[in-house]
Structure 1
């Protein structure tokens, strides 16, 4: 039986991309993954209220004072990530808008990253002012996950403009659809992971106690979602090898499948070893990396768009 194929699409030609654009795109991606790690450190060390108010650390000081504990230093260090990321995002917006030949989508993506970082900083303040409300804390992580995905899309856009991907038009039409299903499954898994962590012992402060029974329920549902995610990614890996699509699609899909396997192993180990903070931290950071790989996989199985001819967006 013949396999339906997408129409043949000629890949776009390489376009020179300034080094500053590439560097800042990558730094924004790495920075937004890193803040997941620093935010996790705040939560895992019970430092969520180390600075008891916002935007100042205390009612009388913008920075931690000598009478505060080490928790305040951890929380304050995490707060300082936001201005650093904002500077990187602003620099990216400036260099992208100054390009003589605009990269399709780059202006919008860089602007969203900058706006998202500002909104994320405010949301972080709300988590403190609400006493680490579980829903707000969860939204704080999800916002970081979204920013990682957007930054990953920008990196892929820049790199694909600079060096077009191998032609993916040999893939059946259903493969891009499966990639969208995969991204949806990943989103559900991440949200359930947020609820799982939020209902567990690592609430962000020793005075905030969660429901252990509810945690067990979320653990089981989260695991089911993760296994469904594995199934969709496995189909994409099969397609990449079956239809011999080399390059970023095959590499990203294969790495994503391997990363999810490691993530599942970390999740199982957490549950069996009493949820040690080190494993939870690794689980959170790896989630950011998996978001990146998922976005790259989804974008790489599409035919390349032609670069901008020099007009704006």
Structure 2
């Protein structure tokens, strides 16, 4: 059996992992497009698009095309994920295989949750879970992308333990911001379909909670940046914290403008993309605080020749 295609996948694994990361972020944006165009029930059932057809029909109009198109993108993600698994197998590194398999299994699982959102007529809590799982897949794809060029040795910390703990608190705050944003979305007007229910929470109050968490995240990021500079942390770590702050400020600006302009669809879509970028920037900070050198095989001890009597 010719193993050259498998070896090529192995040598291209970093590019494939990056493609997986971009695709998983991209489907967040296309999912937002489905909701913002009121196409959430463009295909009113699942796994079929209609009771008689797996594909959209002309009678379903543009909403059916948008929803069905988003479903097709899942197959693109699956194809990339399978290529990543094969590439990881070619590298013969268990850590890479585990990450690639986790992402590959998560994508069809995410598709099932998407189907449940349709079958529950876009229940806002199920829609929120659908988004949270996308965030988890982004984290998995990001980890795979970063691990490709790392070794399998134990991680070596580059900053003191309190700073690593502060970074983890920042990651937790970032996730809390995203989760609160999901709840805000479930209370707002963009339900994905004219008849879809909302979660019943007060949009003003839950938006205030979301904003408070954003301020907390920004404060933690600024504190982390100053602390990294104070301990002369590696330039990459300081730069990653600065990038995170810049992304947060851009995302915050979009969030405030969309709120005070009554949630125009273009800004809501940009805010969805921004949430994924804030998340990946947060992960980048965490990754910059340690290194993982390659394991070097131990050199066997040289046995001296016995001295003749």
Q: Which whole-Å CA distance do the structure 2 matches of 1:283 and 1:244 have between them? A: 34
Are 2:286 and 1:298 aligned?
yes
Are 2:198 and 1:210 aligned?
yes
Q: Which whole-Å CA distance do the structure 2 matches of 1:247 and 1:60 have between them? A: 59
Are 2:176 and 1:184 aligned?
no
Instruction: Verify the 8 A CA contact 2:10 2:89 in the aligned structure 1.
Output: no
Q: In the TM superposition, what is the alpha-carbon distance from 1:29 to its structure 2 partner?
A: 0.3
Match of 1:24 in 2: 16
Q: Which whole-Å CA distance do the structure 2 matches of 1:139 and 1:52 have between them? A: 19
- For 1:206-245, what aligned pairs fall within 5 Å after superposition? 206-210=194-198, 214-245=202-233
Gapped regions of structure 2 (runs ≥ 5): 1-8, 298-309
Of residues 236, 247, 255, the one that matches 1:248 is 236
Q: In the TM superposition, what is the alpha-carbon distance from 1:237 to its structure 2 partner?
A: 1.5
Match of 1:120 in 2: 110
Instruction: Indicate the SS of the match to 1:239.
Output: helix
Q: Structure 1 stretch 116-125 or stretch 289-298: which is displaced more?
A: 289-298
CA RMSD of aligned residues (A): 2.1
Instruction: Verify the 8 A CA contact 1:153 1:296 in the aligned structure 2.
Output: no
- Which protein, 1 or 2, shows the higher relative CO under an 8 Å CA cutoff with sep ≥ 6? 1
Are 2:294 and 1:307 aligned?
yes
Of residues 133, 136, 139, the one that matches 1:146 is 136
Q: Which whole-Å CA distance do the structure 1 matches of 2:161 and 2:270 have between them? A: 36
Instruction: Indicate the SS of the match to 1:59.
Output: coil
Instruction: Indicate the SS of the match to 1:69.
Output: helix
Q: In the TM superposition, what is the alpha-carbon distance from 1:214 to its structure 2 partner?
A: 1.3
Q: Which whole-Å CA distance do the structure 1 matches of 2:74 and 2:41 have between them? A: 17
Number of residue-to-residue matches in the alignment: 287
Instruction: Indicate the SS of the match to 1:220.
Output: helix
Instruction: Verify the 8 A CA contact 2:56 2:65 in the aligned structure 1.
Output: yes
Match of 1:78 in 2: 70
Instruction: Indicate the SS of the match to 1:67.
Output: helix
Q: Which whole-Å CA distance do the structure 1 matches of 2:294 and 2:62 have between them? A: 50
Q: Structure 1 stretch 242-251 or stretch 24-33: which is displaced more?
A: 242-251
Match of 2:262 in 1: 274
- Computing the radius of gyration from Cα coordinates, the structure with the larger value is 2
- For 1:25-44, what aligned pairs fall within 5 Å after superposition? 25-44=17-36
Instruction: Verify the 8 A CA contact 1:249 1:301 in the aligned structure 2.
Output: yes
Structure-2 change in CA distance of 1:245 and 1:74 (3 Å): same
Q: Which whole-Å CA distance do the structure 1 matches of 2:136 and 2:18 have between them? A: 16
Q: In the TM superposition, what is the alpha-carbon distance from 1:306 to its structure 2 partner?
A: 3.1
Q: In the TM superposition, what is the alpha-carbon distance from 1:211 to its structure 2 partner?
A: 6.5
Q: In the TM superposition, what is the alpha-carbon distance from 1:219 to its structure 2 partner?
A: 0.4
Instruction: Verify the 8 A CA contact 2:25 2:273 in the aligned structure 1.
Output: yes
TM-score (ref. length: structure 2)? 0.88
Q: Deviations over 1:257-284 (max 9, x none)?
A: 1100111111111110011011110001
Structure-2 change in CA distance of 1:243 and 1:168 (3 Å): farther
Q: In the TM superposition, what is the alpha-carbon distance from 1:187 to its structure 2 partner?
A: 1.0
Structure-2 change in CA distance of 1:129 and 1:200 (3 Å): same
Are 2:42 and 1:50 aligned?
yes
Match of 1:262 in 2: 250
